Amino acid sequence: MRRNRETEILAALDTLYLKGFVLIDWDRFYLWFDAVRISKSAWRQVRDEWAHLCEIQGETAALDVHILEHKHFVVLYRNFEKEHKNDDKKVEPKLLTTLCE
């Protein structure tokens, strides 16, 4: 993998850490790994980079990440319920339409 592509992966993982999710177009993902098919080793590399980032940020272990695959993109998102299970105030997701009423 080229250095500039590794930088793009790290930037995506930074976004995941800071915002809680990141959307990555499949064509970009394939380009990062110079692949026709995304292999287990590509996912392992993403997992390992994520674990390293979490360690740098002072986490005791890599935070859980879920994956939603779509035809054109993949979404990686953190499990906030598990991360904040001891918080006093729970934040429930809302539908946009309920905010407009």
Q: Quickly count: other Cβ atoms within 10 Å of residue 100's Cβ.
A: 6
Is the pTM of the predicted complex or chain greater than 0.95?
Answer: no
Q: Which residues pair with 24 in a beta bridge?
A: 74
Task: Give start and end residues of each alpha helix (H) in 20-70.
Answer: 26-33, 40-56
Interatomic CA distance for residues 85 and 61, integer angstroms? 16
Tens place of pLDDT per residue across the chain (101 aa)? 567 788 999 999 999 999 999 999 999 999 998 888 888 888 999 999 999 999 999 999 999 999 999 999 999 999 876 665 665 666 666 666 655 66
Distance CA 33, CA 50 (A): 16
Answer for the pair 73, 26: CB distance below 8 angstroms, yes or no: yes
Domain boundaries, the chain: 3-100
